[in-house]
Structure 1
């Protein structure tokens, strides 16, 4: 297509995505109470684990705070809920320009990336109460801990995003292997450094300071790296067999 046709197609896809996002935002407003309960559950669980040791309360500051809270929470929920649709629109715009081999691997990447990201987010949501318990537990005796909801919501979204993105890193390693950038043998040679790097990354990336959150992020990353190494070695072995099968009768074998 001509450049103007590509731009018209892009505009149409952006408009459809924006319309779908608006509809998802309206639906999120209807289920605002359920969304607020879902967000507050980790904090309430942390309060329950602390018991009477620390007095802590969540609050909203300023007169416009409740309205901004509702808009922000529903906006994030709409963005996440509508992500399959607007990602599909981006996908539909990019895929026609790829070669057949690139399309095949991109389909595999799209099929695995979504569930892996969701698994990371769920893991972060599961360990969040423990992280909050540790952080709030540093409150000195005789003082009350007041948690501003805007800061808490930013902390929660950052925590979940870190876990989701971290679970995608081994998948990118596999894609680099498929592209011929790294080999399974190289991954095995630097396995110890990858494991150490996973723990260092987990210690730096997790907003909380408790070791449980760090381990909950680092251990799955190490397991996924090992799985990525196994897949890379299988791909390299298959690639080597294909190269040997293409050697002619009068050509010198790689061996």
Structure 2
């Protein structure tokens, strides 16, 4: 009896040692993640300081740009309207009449700080993705590591393209529509600066996130959750969803503006199908080689 108790005691000590080792391993991972986050925070803080140094340019030329009738998008719209006057006359915008006010005593200072932090985050996205990649890289197999080497590059490019597309196409047309829209002519549109900034950032960053669709499909396809057959089968539903998103993002009755927004989303969906099909093809080839050997 005592011998059995001794064996049970030894076994419990071994199990306790294994659990302690697992706990230490978990906390080691947390410590590594903390270091990656701190480095990312340091880079974002540095970029925020740089943005604060150029805050006048950021406010006057970038943030307030879509409210200026001489903005690049409006000038290009006027050129398109001159080429196709019968179908694109609404593209030419030469006047944006709206009053933007500040209602808080510390409002403008808070907005300046928040805009600089946002600029630092946007500029720091590539480095933040790089830190995420460094954190998950040791847990990947060699084949997985090789197949996802371009994760940081492609995710960063897609995010920046989405931000630029949202800033130069979606934000200007949406702001112009919202500024000029009235329920009754007797009601004058006067907007707060935080409402204006929130609209610009939401449309711009939202488009950057939407442009991450191929990256999300890549990850889901790797996990076996998404297949190209499923995406092809539900293409019609995806098309309806894309049109709904385009209609919501661009609150305008102009179908041409909506299609300008929807077209890149259609292309991203088709690109996602190609990515998923390529991953599935590689998986099938690897399985064939495995069973053959």
TM-score, normalised relative to structure 1: 0.82
Q: What is the 5 A alignment of 1:70-219? A: 70-127=112-169, 128-139=171-182, 140-141=184-185, 144-204=188-248, 206=249, 208-211=251-254, 212-219=256-263
**Residues 93, 227 of structure 1: CA spacing in aligned structure 2 closer, same or farther, 3 A cutoff?**
closer
Secondary structure in structure 1 of the residue aligned to 2:100? strand
For each residue in 1:141-199, what CA deviation from the matched residue of structure 2 results, as whole angstroms up to 9, or x when unmatched?
A: 46542221111111111101221122222432243333333332332222222212211
Pairs aligned (count): 247
The answer to whether the Cα contact below 8 Å between 1:32 and 1:74 also exists between their aligned partners in 2 is: yes
Alignment pair present for 1:43 and 2:43: no
The answer to whether the Cα contact below 8 Å between 2:99 and 2:191 also exists between their aligned partners in 1 is: yes
Looking at structure 1, the residues matched to 140 and 262 of structure 2 have their Cα atoms a distance apart, in angstroms, of 35
Deviation for aligned residue 1:110: 2.7
Secondary structure in structure 1 of the residue aligned to 2:145? helix
Give ranges in structure 1 of 5+ residues lacking alignment.
250-255
Deviation for aligned residue 1:239: 4.0
Looking at structure 2, the residues matched to 103 and 213 of structure 1 have their Cα atoms a distance apart, in angstroms, of 41
Deviation for aligned residue 1:32: 0.5
The answer to whether the Cα contact below 8 Å between 1:55 and 1:143 also exists between their aligned partners in 2 is: no
Looking at structure 1, the residues matched to 56 and 163 of structure 2 have their Cα atoms a distance apart, in angstroms, of 21
Higher Cα radius of gyration? 2
| Greater shift in the superposed pair: 215-224 or 101-110 | 101-110
Looking at structure 1, the residues matched to 57 and 116 of structure 2 have their Cα atoms a distance apart, in angstroms, of 11
For each residue in 1:99-151, what CA deviation from the matched residue of structure 2 results, as whole angstroms up to 9, or x when unmatched?
A: 22332343333322211121111111112222222222223546542221111
In structure 1, the residue matched to 2:277 is: 233
The answer to whether the Cα contact below 8 Å between 1:131 and 1:208 also exists between their aligned partners in 2 is: yes
TM-score, normalised relative to structure 2: 0.72
In structure 1, the residue matched to 2:86 is: none
Deviation for aligned residue 1:98: 2.2
Looking at structure 2, the residues matched to 165 and 153 of structure 1 have their Cα atoms a distance apart, in angstroms, of 18
